[in-house]
Amino acid sequence: MKYIENDIRDDYKKLTKLLVEKQITITTMESATSGQIASLITDTEGASAIFKGAFITYSNEAKIMQGVSSEIIEKYTVYSKETARAMAKVCREKYGANIGIGVTGTMGNIDPANENASVPGQVYFSIDFNGSINDYYVELPWQESRLMYKLAVAKEVCEVLLTMIY
């Protein structure tokens, strides 16, 4: 699949306007995407009405500091649906938002801090919508840059959110 930056940005504009229209609040806890989803949401005017805040938890320690159980990371690895699920739940609850998004995975290379669990292109994300959590897994094809990996994940997340909200 080819990911096109301008199309992804347009999708997020549509998403943010829909969230504002429906008065649905949102937050993220991002690792692999390192804040890209939060940035895309807030690129649209009016996002302050629905965007509660975000955590960028690039390291295992940061996830644990924000409330993800170290036992989950140890048992399932940092790159797992269980970790993404915990991230989504924690951020939604901490910010009191309707939607919490948790994203974890490996982009183009093996993570030296988590070598045994790191598989390039494998990404897990979960969406907690008012306490109901859905888990997702994507295998990304090679991308030309770090930014395109982040945008590819953001596109996958956006498509799910638009389907949920409509």
Burial of 14-27, coded b for 16+ CB within 10 Å and e otherwise, reads: ebbeebbeeebbbb
CB-side neighbour CA atoms (13 Å) of 165? 22
- CA 68 centroid distance within chain: 15
Token readout for 37 is: 């989803």
Contact in structure between 87 and 104 (CB atoms under 8 Å): yes
Write down the pLDDT at residue 34: 97
Write down the pLDDT at residue 14: 98
- CA 37 centroid distance within chain: 6
Contact in structure between 46 and 119 (CB atoms under 8 Å): no
Token readout for 126 is: 């979960």
How far apart, in whole angstroms, are the C-alpha atoms of residue 117 and residue 89?
A: 22
Give the length of the chain: 166
pLDDT tens by residue, 67-122: 999 999 999 999 999 999 999 999 999 999 999 999 999 988 888 888 888 888 99
pLDDT tens by residue, 19-29: 999 999 999 99
Q: Kindly tell me if the per-residue pLDDT of 1 is higher than 80.
A: no
Domains of the chain: 5-165 (3.90.950.20)
Write down the pLDDT at residue 115: 81
Q: Kindly tell me if the per-residue pLDDT of 59 is higher than 90.
A: yes
